[in-house]
Amino acid sequence: MSAETIQSRRAWLLSDRPVSRLQARLGRAYVAWRRFSANRLALVGMLIIIALLVVAAFADVLAPYSPTVGDLKNARLLPPGAAHWFGTDDLGRDIYSRIVYGARWTLYVVILVAIIAAPIGLLVGTIAGYAGGWTDTILMRITDIFLAFPKLVLALAFVAALGPGIENAVLAIAITSWPPYARIARAETLTVRNSDYIKAVQLMGASPFRIVLRHIMPLCISSLIIRVTLDMAGIILTAAGLGFLGLGAQPPLPEWGAMIASGRRFILDQWWVAAAPGAAILIVSLGFNLLGDGLRDALDPRSGDQ
């Protein structure tokens, strides 16, 4: 590909007068990507998350040992070495393999929480914003009440009642994390609610249900995605905290927080048992934070450089 074709393609992408919807969309995406990729930290964050996805997808290939069955006879609490990169735990299991498989559980938690909490917030926020009046007041009061609660403690109490387990931990985190999404969705709804295109759709006889679903919700998605990405780190930390307290994933699942809890007993002599999974949590949360910051700066120029 010669320099000229690249030049002309860029000109096509950045054109002021796009001739098709596709060209306009690609052009906008290109501008956002340029802003995003200019931010080196954001790229690092993206690489970390891509690495997480790859590790989770190919865990079977990447892990040399089983994550749940260890060699109790020969390999208990071995320090990091050539055979076991991050050492072994008290049941003779390879910690590196457990961390690789643990990536799946981390993704599982994060994705499930996002799938449950974001739509709840989106629904509550758009309905409150579009309906206005009493509906708005009541829905937002409920949102604010939930917003004022201490999240971790409440999630703790929920899991205590529901019983320990990774599904219940997901549910508890989702219940406590939807309110910010509702606020964002409501704010976005209020900005478009009185615009001409909504009036046009109303005149064409669209039902409120259809307007909210087809014409308002899509506009809230991008700010919601940014916020969800920024929240991912918090979700991972809460899930790990629940796992650490024995309320999240149950043994022998290789969940990172639970792995730290089991390494706690040996922390003074065999520190590596707890050190490696904690480092994994730190790196992945950092990745989500960097990616979220980058996305916010690229897609939402208003918030600018904070």
Partner 1 sequence: MSVTENQAAAGGGSARAVAILSSLGRFLVIAVTTYLGLLAVTFFIGRVIPIDPVLAVLGDRAPTAVVERTRREMGLDLPWIEQFYLYVKAALSGDFGTSVLTTNPVMTDIRRVFPATIELATLGTIIGAVIGVPLGVLAAVKRGSLIDQVARIVGLIGYSVPIFWLGLLGLVLFYAKLQWIAFPARLDVVYEYTFTPITGFYLLDAAIQGQWDVFYDAWRHIVLPAALLGYLSLAYISRMTRSFMLNELAQEYIVAARAKGLSERRIIWGHALRNAAVPMVTVIALSYANLLEGSVLTETVFSWPGIGLYITNSLQNADMNAVLGGTIAIGSVFIAINLLSDLLYRLLDPRTRVG
Task: Output the smallest distance, CB 116 to partner 1, in A.
Answer: 17
Buried b vs exposed e over 261-271: b needs ≥16 C-beta within 10 Å? bbbeeeeeebe
CB of 80 to partner 1, least distance (A): 15
In this complex, which beta carbon is closest to partner 1, that of residue 216 or of residue 253?
A: 253
Cβ atoms of residues 166 and 109 within 8 Å? yes
Nearer of residues 217 and 284 to partner 1, judged by Cβ: 284
Closest approach of partner 1 to the CB of residue 300, in Å: 15
Q: Which residue has the tokens 């790196």?
A: 283
129 backbone dihedrals φ, ψ, rounded to 5°: -65, -40
CB nearer to partner 1: give 86 or 158. Answer: 158
Nearer to partner 1, 70 or 277 (CB): 277
216 versus 274: smaller Cβ distance to partner 1 = 274
Euclidean distance between CA atoms 89 and 263, whole angstroms:
7
**Residue 67, CB half-sphere, CA atoms under 13 Å: how many?**
22
Alpha-carbon distances of 79 from 82, 88, 264, 271, rounded to whole Å: 10, 7, 16, 9
Query: Nearer Cβ to partner 1, position 75 or 240?
Result: 240
* Closest distance to partner 1 from the beta carbon of 16 (Å): 30
Tell the smallest beta-carbon distance from residue 20 to partner 1 (Å): 40
CB of 148 to partner 1, least distance (A): 5
What is the phi-psi region of residue 81: left when phi exceeds 0, alpha when psi lies from -120 to 50, beta otherwise? beta
Shortest Cβ distance from residue 57 to partner 1 (Å)? 23
CA distance 123 to 117: 10
DSSP 224-290: HHHHHHHHHHHHHHHHHHHHHTTSSSPTTS--HHHHHHHHGGGTTT-THHHHHHHHHHHHHHHHHHH
In the bound complex, what is the minimum distance in angstroms from residue 284's beta carbon to partner 1?
8
156 vs 212, beta carbon nearer partner 1? 156
Give me the numbers of helices (H) and strands (E) for the chain, helices first please: 14, 0
Query: Which CB atom, from 58 or from 271, has the smaller least distance to partner 1?
Result: 271
Footprint of partner 1 (CB under 8 A): 141-142, 144-146, 148-154, 156-158, 160-162, 233, 237, 240-241, 244-247, 257, 260, 263-264, 267-268, 271, 274-275, 277-278, 281-282, 285-286, 288-290, 306
